[in-house]
């Protein structure tokens, strides 16, 4: 069954930039009624102005998705403005670049709070509303790094793996409410994620202009919503990596480890030299 987005009541988190911003414009072009959520009030207002000037229908609700009162206010705004909810898009996300051992413990907790726990709690708020909605749907945006762990993105990968596992389990649970769930697994995308990192201690350069434009991802998501897709892998880089990892995971491990050894060659050589120079402890006779 195809889903018509015209007049659908849709909440989009992380709507101020990147995929969320592009998705809001694409959904507005389909005639959806939007609730735009993000922390940046100025950016939200700019997006709202663009949509309404083009004849679209939307409201902006400045939201910190990790704050329970903000989440409650967000869903209440959807009910008060549109009378309910048909689609929830969990897109808000944050990252940290660097090896796990080099990052502070609070970085992992913050990444998990934004990327996973907020996603889960948004779903908890949404399900009773969606159960009464029209062609109801949850869209959870994960990442290629949520299907294959990536060095220097261990915290981010962990949070996105959690989103994938949660989404797969929740999809089956939602059958009792006749609510659908689509998991989105984008590859490298040109977003502002790299500009808003909690930490940047990785040695591999971040190519901010690499990857696919967020508008392409947004168009694919809209198409997937219409066709009621269960999982959407975007684009070739994500599909290729996951295919190779499925066929030969040891090869992918080897390739990634090779890159790490090259980047940390000096420290690795020093470590090996210190181990070789260390005296061997004498073994007491029995």
Residue 136, exposed/middle/buried by CB under 10 A (0-12, 13-18, 19+)?
A: buried
d(CA 239, CA 185): 9
Q: Identify each DSSP E strand in 42-147 by its residue range.
A: 57-62, 87-90, 137-141
CB contact at 8 A, 170 and 61: no
Please report the DSSP string for 256-282 in residue order.
HHHHHHHHTHHHHHHHHHHHHHSPPPP
CB contact at 8 A, 11 and 37: yes
* 203's tokens: 């040695």
Question: Of 82, 156, 251, 264, which is the active-site residue?
Answer: 156
Residue 219, exposed/middle/buried by CB under 10 A (0-12, 13-18, 19+)?
A: middle
CA dihedral 188, 139, 222, 28 (to 10 degrees): -110
Active-site residue 156, yes or no? yes
Beta-bridge partner residues of 89:
12, 139
Please list, in sequence order, all residues whose beta carbon lies within 8 angstroms of the beta carbon of residue 237, skipping any fewer than 6 positions away. Answer: 144, 187, 188, 211
The tally of CA atoms less than 13 A away on the side-chain side of residue 132 is: 9
CB contact at 8 A, 114 and 66: yes
Q: Which residues are catalytic?
A: 156
């Amino acid at each position: 069954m195809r889903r018509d987005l015209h007049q659908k009541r849709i909440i989009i988190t992380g709507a101020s930039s990147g995929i969320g911003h592009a998705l809001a414009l694409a959904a507005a072009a389909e005639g959806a009624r939007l609730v735009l959520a993000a922390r940046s009030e100025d950016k939200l207002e700019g997006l709202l102005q663009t949509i309404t000037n083009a004849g679209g229908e939307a409201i902006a609700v400045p939201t910190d998705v990790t704050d329970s009162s903000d989440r409650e206010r967000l869903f209440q705004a959807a009910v008060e403005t549109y009378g309910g909810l048909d689609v929830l898009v969990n897109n808000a996300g944050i990252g940290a670049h660097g090896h796990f051992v080099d990052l502070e413990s609070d970085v992992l907790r913050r990444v998990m709070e934004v990327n996973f726990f907020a996603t889960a709690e948004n779903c908890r708020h949404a399900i009773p509303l969606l159960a009464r909605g029209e062609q109801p749907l949850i869209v959870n945006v994960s990442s290629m790094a949520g299907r294959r762990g990536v060095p220097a993105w261990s915290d981010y990968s962990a949070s996105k793996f959690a989103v994938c596992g949660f989404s797969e389990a929740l999809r089956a649970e939602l059958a009792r409410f006749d609510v659908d769930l689509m998991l989105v697994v984008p590859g490298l995308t040109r977003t502002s994620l790299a500009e808003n990192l909690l930490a940047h201690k990785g040695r591999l350069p971040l190519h901010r202009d690499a990857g696919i434009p967020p508008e392409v991802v947004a168009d694919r998501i809209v198409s997937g919503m219409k066709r009621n897709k269960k999982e959407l892998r975007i684009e070739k880089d994500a599909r290729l990596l996951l295919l190779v990892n499925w066929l030969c995971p040891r090869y992918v491990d080897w390739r990634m480890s090779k890159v790490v050894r090259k980047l940390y060659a000096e420290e690795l050589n020093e470590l090996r030299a210190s181990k070789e120079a260390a005296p061997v402890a004498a073994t007491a006779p029995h």
